[in-house]
Amino acid sequence: MQCFSQQGGFLLPDQSHSIDRRPWLLLSPALVFITVLVVIPMAFILVYSFYENIDLAVDVPAFQFGNWMELLTDGYYHTAIWKTLRLSVIVTVLAAVLGYIPAYVIAMTRYRHKWLLLLLLILPFWISFIIRTLSWIHIFGNQGALNGLMNLLGLGDLQVQLMYTEFTVIVGFIHVFLPYMILNVYVSLEGIDRNLEPAARTLGATPWQAFREVTLPLSLPGLAAGSLLVFVLTGGSYVTPLILGGPSDFLFGNLVYDAVVTELNWPMGATLSFALLILLGSVVILYSRLMGMNQLAKAFG
């Protein structure tokens, strides 16, 4: 290496030079990938959003704001944005509550084969996400397991129509995204010193107070990361509402799908995709500001 002297120490005149360049050298593969696979395609999509669609799959290169105006003025799109944000919040909150408990149990257990519990958590990823989503039809469908059970119990009159409702969409989302929440919370719980809760207990805190004052705040970074992940994943998806939802259970992602695949209107699809990116991107930025994750990180030195 040039920057090492023969004695193996740094040569002073070269030092600033090498320190400036090395991080960029190490980052360059990642930067190249991001540029080629994210930045450039996104730039294309942005350019495409100004094109004009004159017929099915016929686009004219142009620089006009027709697509963007349509997005801003058509109430249909606003409904989709509202539905998307609302459902994402519901799924995130439910996943946070439902995910924290197993994460806590796995992190605190004295069971020797903890890896087995973590394996069980990752196990669903071995099955296709589509198949896992479709499987709910067999449970909630008219002839599904739930209604079958009702019949067996002699409650056949209480036939419930759960399939193709917002409820099934939420269940489907939770089912698929819960492991992300659990893993994030688990990792942050695992990093907490085991003596902190006992320390709080000896100082006079009840088990619940010790949890609320010590463990919960210290696990917030994981909970925040998991929540953000689930929120963004939910906000950007379209397959789950397509399979499990009814006609009115569409998300913004479904509009993108419709524009690109069904209507073959690529300029509108590009506009909607970019709008979704801006929407979710601002949520991420706003969220990290509000949660003050930097402040929390500081506390850990």
Interface with other proteins by CB under 8 A: which residues? 193, 195-196, 198-206, 209-210, 213-214, 217-218, 296, 298-301
CB of 221 to other proteins, least distance (A): 10
Nearer to other proteins, 7 or 295 (CB): 295
CB of 231 to other proteins, least distance (A): 24
CB of 262 to other proteins, least distance (A): 50
End-to-end alpha carbon distance in the chain:
33
Nearer to other proteins, 16 or 195 (CB): 195
Q: Which amino acid is at 99?
A: G
CB of 200 to other proteins, least distance (A): 7
CB of 202 to other proteins, least distance (A): 4
Pairing of β 52-55 and β 58-60: antiparallel
CB of 223 to other proteins, least distance (A): 14
Nearer to other proteins, 154 or 204 (CB): 204
Nearer to other proteins, 174 or 218 (CB): 218
Nearer to other proteins, 35 or 209 (CB): 209
Nearer to other proteins, 22 or 194 (CB): 194
